[in-house]
A and B are shown apart, each in its own frame.
Chain A
Amino acid sequence: MADTAHRPPRVAARRSTADRSRGGSPRRRREAVAGYTFLLPWFIGLFGITLFPMLYSLYLSFTDYDLLQSPQWIGLENYVRMLTDDPQYWNSVKATLLFAVVSVPLKLAVALGVALLLYRDRRGVGLYRALFYVPSLLGGSVAIAIVWQTLFGGQGALNEILGLVGIEGRSWITNPSTALGTLVLLAAWQFGAPMVIFLAGLKQIPAEMFEAGALDGAGRFKQFWHITLPMLSPVLFFNLVLETIAGFQGFTAAFVISGGTGGPADSTLLYTLYLYLRGFGDFQMGYASAMAWGFLLVLGIITAIVFRSGSLWVHYADEGEH
């Protein structure tokens, strides 16, 4: 991406060599000064609020620190404890992976399915699209998490509806085998955001491709598999990256629905929630920092895998021209 950032200015630079003969160099210097001036707030943020804190948290991860006493160097102890002596840590890893692995594909599948339905039938598309988007707009809020808790709680409305159909109700939230499922549902419910991105991508597929496909006798399914999906793969990839990153950072709903505990039986103890509890519940800042670095590492690996896999299945339309 940095590469494309460069291309247009280079062209401009070549053009401006003409006026360098009449005092271009001081102008260039002035532009450089202006560039750094405009970036000054960003630099303060980059170093003061991002890079320096990252290094500091790396240091803290090797210490025992409770905010009151100064950090005590304990070497790798936090990491050793995290990996070998903290079953809760592994519970949180398990819950997070399970949550992401189920919720991200589910959300994307629903988003793609609805987008396909919407783009075929243009009538009323604007209204449908806006209404389907509403859950994405509100879904991250505490208010909706509260609604979810009531809906799936012991006396929740869902049970009463299920009761009408003869299914025995239960508390989906206090049952360790279904609690995470309610969070997955909440995530998938917010399919509107990736849906509008899919819609935008679908619109860019030239209609001639489908015409050609139809002439060659391809049915709907074949068209989807051989035209729509490959043409849509860059958009699918974009959505996959966005949703994967978001999927690993779920916090609000897990916190609200479990009453800030990650329970029952750590089943909703998403990684960020556990990090919060260690860091800001017990003020084990060193341990929480070690957890944060573990998170960064794992998320980095997963993002790298997603990007790597992209070269296998993402098809760019202009590839042939290069």
Chain B
Amino acid sequence: MTTAPSTLASAPIAPQAPTRGRPARGRGGIVAHVVLVALLVVALYPIVYMVGTSFKSPQEISNNLDVLPESFTPGNYADGWSGIPGVSFARFFANSVVVSVGVVVGNVLSCALAAYAFARLRFPLRGVWFALMIGTLLLPHHVLVVPQYVLFNALGWVNTPLPLIVPKFLATDAFFVFLMVQFMRGIPRTLDEAAAIDGCGPFATFFRIVLPLTKPALVTTTVFSFIQTWNDFFSQLVYLNDIAKYTLPIGLRLFLDSSGQNAVGPMFAMSVLSLVPVFLFFLVFQRLIVEGINTSGIKG
């Protein structure tokens, strides 16, 4: 809201604006801001509604139309935390952390190794393997889920976090391999050559020169792997079937089964809590998330 008046003020004192080739500010600018703010209200409504409802008492949920509660009822959070008989939400949180951290470590390590080979080393058939890697980029995950389930079932891994984590240590997230390849190509090759003259082999060059310089891509991989895994539902639903092994998304679903107005408050409270880590990641890495990865794909 506050930005609209300031645009109005800036219009008269910025007469050069039209010469920059973009349409002049002024009335058009205000209209744009009004439209943007209206869109923003619609876009953020579900989120505000979720947070507001999580603080409403059962009566308010059915009576109060406002997004925000008249009286805050933090009790929903306590009720939700221990809302599923036999297991607390702390367990779901812990399980989600284990899976997400495992995936992040796996992706960062294995994708960096593969990317270095593709970006920097010369070896026979490299073009073939690179093309295959790009091919798997477009391969839908759901196509592999049945045979992978059979495989992990035979290994006795079903109902453990292993099927969710171990594949990530094998650079199966081709998107991140591709991201890092693109990034490493931007690192000046003269650095490698200097290292080679100093007697560094490929391994020392990777660990001492290339890996430290790839840090921005590693951070991007970390952030996006974490958020993806934290929100992932499909594979966790397939592989985890014991309530003590449940992660947050699967645990949240249990609230839906226990329907009734009284469950809505606690269900929303736990929904809010489950999104807090993602939101914190967003606050810390906002610039990177909004500007980094998404644009890196089109510059290559």
Q: Within the complex, what minimum Cβ distance (angstroms) separates A100 from chain B?
A: 13
- Are A54's CB and B298's CB within 8 A? no
- Are A6's CB and B127's CB within 8 A? yes
CA distance A34 to B202 in the complex (A): 7
A189 CB contacts on chain B under 8 angstroms? 43, 46
- Are B7's CB and A299's CB within 8 A? no
The total of chain A residues at the interface (CB under 8 A) is 105
Partner of A137, one of B49, B142, B169, B289: B289
Partner of B40, one of A53, A128, A137, A209: A128
CA distance A171 to B3 in the complex (A): 38
Assuming the contacts A41-B113, A276-B238, A285-B150, asked whether A296 and B43 have C-beta atoms less than 8 A apart, the reply is: no
The total of chain B residues at the interface (CB under 8 A) is 107
Mask of A114-147 contacts with B, CB within 8 angstroms, 1/0 = 1001101101100111111111011011111011
CA distance A249 to B234 in the complex (A): 10
**The stretch of A85-93, A101-109, A192-200 that contacts the partner chain:** A192-200
**Which secondary structure characterizes the binding site on chain B?**
helix
B208 CB contacts on chain A under 8 angstroms? none
Assuming the contacts A42-B110, A255-B233, asked whether A146 and B252 have C-beta atoms less than 8 A apart, the reply is: yes
Assuming the contacts A8-B185, A155-B62, A245-B138, asked whether A39 and B129 have C-beta atoms less than 8 A apart, the reply is: yes
Mask of A47-58 contacts with B, CB within 8 angstroms, 1/0 = 011101110110
Mask of B1-34 contacts with A, CB within 8 angstroms, 1/0 = 0010011001000000001111101001100110
Partner of B234, one of A67, A128, A207, A276: A276
Q: Within the complex, what minimum Cβ distance (angstroms) separates A45 from chain B?
A: 3
CA distance A141 to B236 in the complex (A): 12
Partner of A38, one of B62, B114, B136, B264: B114
B297 beta carbon closer than 8 Å to chain A: yes
A312 beta carbon closer than 8 Å to chain B: no
- Are A147's CB and B49's CB within 8 A? yes
Q: Within the complex, what minimum Cβ distance (angstroms) separates A32 from chain B?
A: 4
A79 CB contacts on chain B under 8 angstroms? none
List 7 A-B pairs, Cβ < 8 Å. Answer: A5-B130, A42-B133, A45-B110, A117-B35, A120-B22, A143-B271, A146-B271
A296 CB contacts on chain B under 8 angstroms? 139-140, 143
Closest to A61 in B: B146
List residues of A (60-99) whose CB comes within 8 Å of B's CBs.
60, 67
Q: A117-B36, A141-B275, A280-B238 are in contact. List 18 more A-B contacts (CB 8 A).
A: A8-B189, A9-B126, A31-B123, A46-B132, A120-B29, A121-B29, A123-B10, A138-B278, A142-B233, A143-B271, A144-B275, A146-B256, A189-B46, A197-B295, A249-B140, A276-B238, A285-B149, A288-B146
A6 CB contacts on chain B under 8 angstroms? 126-127
Mask of B82-123 contacts with A, CB within 8 angstroms, 1/0 = 000000000000000000000000000010011011100111
Q: Within the complex, what minimum Cβ distance (angstroms) separates B285 from chain A?
A: 11
- Are B142's CB and A292's CB within 8 A? yes
List residues of B (195-246) whose CB comes within 8 Å of A's CBs.
201-203, 206, 227, 230-231, 233-234, 237-238
